[in-house]
Amino acid sequence: MRSLWLNDAEVPARLRLTPGLRFDTVVIGAGLTGLVTALLLAESGVDVAVLESKRVGAGTTGASTAKVSLLQGIRAQRIRGRHGDRAVSDYVEANREGQQWLLRYCAEHSVPVQRVPALTYAQSKAEMSAVQREYEATRAAGLATTLVEELDMPFPAHGAVRLDNQAQLDPMALLASLAADIESRGAPIFESTRAKGVHSGEHDQLVIETEHGDLVARTIILATGTPILDRGGFFARLTAERSYLSAFRVAEPIPHGMFISAGEPTRSLRYTPGPDGAELLLVGGNGHVVGRTNAASRRVDELIAWTQRCFPTAEPLQSWSAQDYHPVDELPYVGPLLPGQNHILLATGYAKWGLTNGIAAALALVGRVNGKPPQWADTFASWRPSELKSIPAAVFANSSVAQQLSFGWLRILGTGLGAAPAEGSGRVQRHGLRPTAVCTVDGATTEVSAVCPHLGGIVRWNDAEQSWDCPLHGSRFAADGTLLEGPATDSLTPIAGPFPGPESRQL
């Protein structure tokens, strides 16, 4: 599955790391947060470099809906219910500063932006209560939202809360501009270089271990979606979520607004200019916790079927997915990886609203480095007293992780060797006492360890993306076991030799 934004993205490939280099600051991750952080640091004279395991935009930013909005579904009421009005006001102000920075940057660098309203709408009358609560929470936070009692839309809509003059864009066009801007200031971006660990070096410096050698820095900023270092236990303070998007060519008029439902199943809509000048419809939703569905492809099919019911001429062009991280206490984490230690900083937990939160995080990170944090930075702090209120939510999230860990290992006890899976299929089976993931893709059957190298979860086959996904903390691997994303830093261990059918291998 490939993002629409990658089709015609003009983002040149960059060289991998040359080992032995030293920088004041190294930013790990070349998505929106990482690139904006690096640019702001370079502008202030910091000797900075960016390290990316794949390519610029290959992660969440390049697969997002790219809505630049201060009205974010039902985020305000969730934050209000957990933390109160002050936290919502700080959250809105942080996102407003991020939005303003982004729109100013796009105007100065000729990155196309469409200004449109954002609407959180009710799919049923029952969802109107959530719409009303979002209106009240956003108004209390100073947003000029309005209540819309009726919507004339081709999809079920019973009213909405609306915020005018928001924005949408092509995220890859933005990232391409940011990357070129960073390099014009002498800061390198190293691609195809995965950071695998960090240890202390000489003179209070840090050594970043990569697949291509070591890199030395005084400060490290983790902008990797979920932190790749387990110190601080952020993997246990986040829930990894996968959601799906499809692009359609339609003959009907496309609503010019950014829509997202107030309830489940989520339906998110926007338009985008197509390569031939005609507008395309983007529809997203049907999300789930990573690795916790047995029918990812069916979720994509359902999204397409829903769109074609609402827009009868809709012709699906492309489907893809994105991974996001939801914080247990509803607010992003931005700050030190460990309390009181500013040499390793992080940003994570945007809950699918990274186009504004990601830039707000960059502003907070750079403020921490230069000693001038924004006024709202404490509300986003990675270690904050208010999180004590979220202990029940954290316990619930991690009890689910424990259940998934136990279930995964128990599930393989009764399995044994079988015939090679059908094309596009995969399964986990037992070879002796060893859990093994076997799949067939493009006619080749491969076997790898089914044990996630992060914390020992048993991976599951994702039939929509032909990947192995860990249900514990969201690490994902290609069909051949190659690491794709997540807190894991190693791939699944390959099992050498051709696939042995039951006739040639004994338990």
User: What is the residue-wise DSSP string for 163-228?
Assistant: EEEEEEE-HHHHHHHHHHHHHHTT--EE-S--EEEEEE-GGG-EEEEETTEEEEEEEEEE-SSS-S
Of residues 44 and 414, more confidence is placed in 44
The model's confidence at residue 414, banded by pLDDT at 50, 70 and 90, is low
> Over the stretch 46-86, which tens digit does the pLDDT of each residue have?
999 999 999 999 999 999 999 999 999 999 999 999 999 99
**505 Cβ contact partners less than 8 Å away, ≥ 6 residues apart:** 417, 431
Question: Percent of the chain beyond pLDDT 70?
Answer: 94
How much is the pLDDT for 276? 82
Cβ count within 10 A of residue 41? 26
Task: Please tell me the distance from the alpha carbon of residue 503 to that of residue 239, in angstroms, as a whole number.
Answer: 41
Structure tokens at 194: 């995965």
Output the CA torsion sign for 351, 367, 92, 58. negative
pLDDT at 479 over 50: yes
Q: Is the peptide bond before 265 cis (omega within 30 degrees of 0)?
A: yes
Average pLDDT for 328-334? 95
Inter-CA distances, 500 with 24, 50, 428, 431, 494, Å: 51, 43, 14, 10, 14
> Over the stretch 340-349, which tens digit does the pLDDT of each residue have?
889 999 999 9
- Secondary structure of 26-39 in HEC code, one letter for each residue: EEECCCHHHHHHHH
Angle between helices 85-108 and 354-370 (to 10 degrees): 90
How much is the pLDDT for 396? 59
How much is the pLDDT for 503? 40
pLDDT at 384 over 80: yes
- Average model confidence (pLDDT) across the chain: 92
pLDDT at 36 over 70: yes
The pair phi, psi for residue 263, each rounded to 5°, is: -135, -170
How much is the pLDDT for 507? 29
pLDDT at 475 over 90: yes
The predicted model scores a pTM of 0.93
Task: Please tell me the distance from the alpha carbon of residue 221 to that of residue 28, in angstroms, as a whole number.
Answer: 6
Average pLDDT for 212-229? 94
Average pLDDT for 277-300? 93
How much is the pLDDT for 230? 80
Q: Are 266 and 243 in contact (CB under 8 A)?
A: yes
**500 Cβ contact partners less than 8 Å away, ≥ 6 residues apart:** 417
Average pLDDT for 199-216? 93
Q: Are 434 and 447 in contact (CB under 8 A)?
A: no
String of b and e for 467-491 (b: at least 16 CB within 10 Å)?
bbbbbbbbbbbbbebebbbbbbbbb
Task: Please tell me the distance from the alpha carbon of residue 40 to that of residue 42, in angstroms, as a whole number.
Answer: 6
Please list the alpha-helical segments (H only) found in 374-478: 391-411
How much is the pLDDT for 394? 59
Output the CA torsion sign for 260, 265, 271, 274. positive
Residue located via tokens 């002498």: 186
How much is the pLDDT for 506? 34
Pairing relationship of beta strands 483-485 and 160-169 according to DSSP bridges: unpaired
CA angle 344, 350, 354 (to 5 degrees): 100
User: What is the residue-wise DSSP string for 36-76?
Assistant: HHHHHHHHTT--EEEE-SS-TT-SSGGGS--EE-S--TTHH
Task: Please tell me the distance from the alpha carbon of residue 2 to that of residue 318, in angstroms, as a whole number.
Answer: 8
Strand order in the sheet with 483-485: 460-462, 467-469, 476-478, 483-485
- The alpha carbons of the chain give a radius of gyration, in whole angstroms, of 23
> Over the stretch 100-136, which tens digit does the pLDDT of each residue have?
999 999 999 999 999 999 999 999 999 999 999 999 9
Task: Please tell me the distance from the alpha carbon of residue 324 to that of residue 353, in angstroms, as a whole number.
Answer: 9
Pairing relationship of beta strands 206-210 and 195-200 according to DSSP bridges: antiparallel
Task: Please tell me the distance from the alpha carbon of residue 214 to that of residue 218, in angstroms, as a whole number.
Answer: 14
How much is the pLDDT for 498? 54
Give the residue from 218, 222, 215 showing the smallest Cα distance to 205: 218
Of residues 418 and 286, more confidence is placed in 286
> Over the stretch 222-270, which tens digit does the pLDDT of each residue have?
999 899 888 788 888 999 999 999 999 999 999 999 999 999 999 999 9
pLDDT at 391 over 90: no
How much is the pLDDT for 502? 46
How much is the pLDDT for 505? 36
Average pLDDT for 456-472? 95
> Over the stretch 142-195, which tens digit does the pLDDT of each residue have?
999 999 998 999 999 999 999 999 999 999 999 999 999 999 999 999 999 999
